Amino acid sequence: MATAYKTPGVYVEEIPKFPPSIAAVETAIPAFIGYTEKAIRNGESLTNKPTRIESIAEYEQLFGGSPPQNVTLFLDGNNQFVRAEAAAKLYLYDSLRLFYANGGGNCYIVSVGAYPTSVSSATLEAALVLLELEDEPTIILAPDAVSDSNSNGPYEFQKKALDQCNKLMDRVTLCDLSRIGFVSNDSFAGSVKRFRENVGINYLKYGAAYGPWIKANLPRTLLRRNVILKQDSDGTTSIQLNSLTNDSDLQSLIADLIKVEEYLL
């Protein structure tokens, strides 16, 4: 629309009758499938119900916090710290934390149940049927699938996710490389080879695989029972916490702490 006319004449001004044809909408809305600490809202179970959230705070309110994670501390002959190893098997919660730490927004959570002792890809695959009914998600992820002890690891889930993406043609799936069988000398090329051999050749244009795995410094609250002490010399001999001190007050405090944990369990 003209703002000033400096010469005489006839001017035509077009007044739009309709809103702009292109509206600003979110184009990447991931759906995270996996295990959670809880799944409840206002007394109603959210298990196996795709749920839209907007923040990590909302996730924690509805689905809880991190899964239990054991950390092994290795000590030398003088009971001095040498190194630490953290064993993680469930990745949904940390994936959400990284998602929001890197500017993530709206997403969907499909909780398939409480934190298990073992992961089942079949349980995760069943959630795909529920997700198919949702129009908004555009990216499918299942970080916990890599912990399936089955020899097929996450591949059956990934193939079914690719099949859904091909069927609906409105979403893609992100595939994690399996960590099952990883050893210290296992190469990234080896993990890629296993992935290519097991994921198949169908509908690959609807998927993407990312690797290698990276280490992230995410804060984690640990309970005493999640801290395991071992001798570094052999890597297997356990060390009792109360053996690290001769102070009777500290030993009494440790005993009380163990009793409290046993009561809470």
The kind and range of the H/E element at 124 are helix 121-131
Nearest to 178, CA basis, from 160, 165, 162, 197: 197
Cα–Cα distance for residue pair 188/58, rounded to 1 Å: 36
Peptide bond into 8 cis (omega under 30): no
10-residue stretch averages of pLDDT, the chain, 265 residues long: 61 67 66 96 96 96 91 90 84 94 94 90 92 94 87 86 96 84 60 89 94 80 83 88 87 85 71
β-bridge pairing 139-141 and 107-114: unpaired
Task: List, for residues 15-58, the tens digit of each pLDDT value.
Answer: 766 666 555 555 689 999 999 999 999 999 999 999 999 999 99
For residue 133, count other CB atoms closer than 10 A to its CB.
7
64 with 8: CB under 8 angstroms? no
- Which pLDDT does position 151 carry in this prediction? 65
pTM of the complete model: 0.78
Structural domains in the chain, CATH included, are 30-210 (3.40.50.11780)
154 with 210: CB under 8 angstroms? no
